[in-house]
Amino acid sequence: MNTKDLKVLISEEEIQAKIGELAAKLNEIYKDEEVYAICVLKGAVMFAVDLVKKLNMPVKMEFIRLSSYGSATTTSGKVNAVDIALPDLNGKNVMIIEDIVDTGLTAKFLIDFINLNFHTKSTVFCSLLDKKMTRKTDVSPDYYCFDIDDKFVVGYGLDYDGHYRNLPYIAYADHII
């Protein structure tokens, strides 16, 4: 895939505007309560950074690394916890920040992991993108910014074989869909 073959699906301006709307909603919900924002690396890095900058409550950021894709454009079906070290989240407000919910296997793995290991005060799942058509589990993000069709997308943290994470917008290429 070549950068010149990419078509913009969601512009930088649209992304930033939606993140602003989501942050306003979350600021209203949590008011001054502390939140543990858990960024799921690597894909959610851009979204998490831009979102937390717009949050007004006390925030502690944590980073975990899960993988399921390898270098292909379809999920392996197996979630690999590369690094899931977390502090004690008992009694805490937990905000999971993910790039995309596709099959939902990663989201389910993570929610089950949190529920099994901690009694949180609250847990919400925020995803930049929601690809509902390809869902294979019964999980859905509590909050998401954009609903997308069954397209393999890149940019703004999302990659194809490690490439394109640095694009400030979300894009797709016809021939790998």
Closer CB to ligand IMP, 46 or 107, in the complex: 107
CB of 74 to ligand IMP, least distance (A): 8
Residue with tokens 């099959």: 103
Identify the CA nearest to 19 among candidates 41, 36, 44, 43. 44
The 8-class DSSP code of residue 71 comes to T
CB of 43 to ligand IMP, least distance (A): 4
Residue with tokens 């805490």: 92
Q: Read off the amino acid at residue 14.
A: E
Closer CB to ligand IMP, 19 or 154, in the complex: 154
Closer CB to ligand IMP, 30 or 141, in the complex: 141
Q: Is-catalytic flag, 142?
A: no
Please tell me which residue in 102, 112, 130, 174 is annotated as part of the active site: 102
Closer CB to ligand IMP, 93 or 141, in the complex: 141
CB of 56 to ligand IMP, least distance (A): 27
DSSP secondary structure letters along 18-64: HHHHHHHHHHHHHTT--EEEEEEETTTHHHHHHHHHT--S-EEEEEE
Residues that bind ligand IMP (CB under 6 A): 43, 68-69, 75, 98-107, 152-154, 158
Identify the CA nearest to 71 among candidates 9, 159, 135. 159
Cα Rg, the chain, nearest whole Å: 16
**DSSP reduced 3-state for 108:** helix
CB of 151 to ligand IMP, least distance (A): 7
For the annotated catalytic residues, the residue numbers are 102
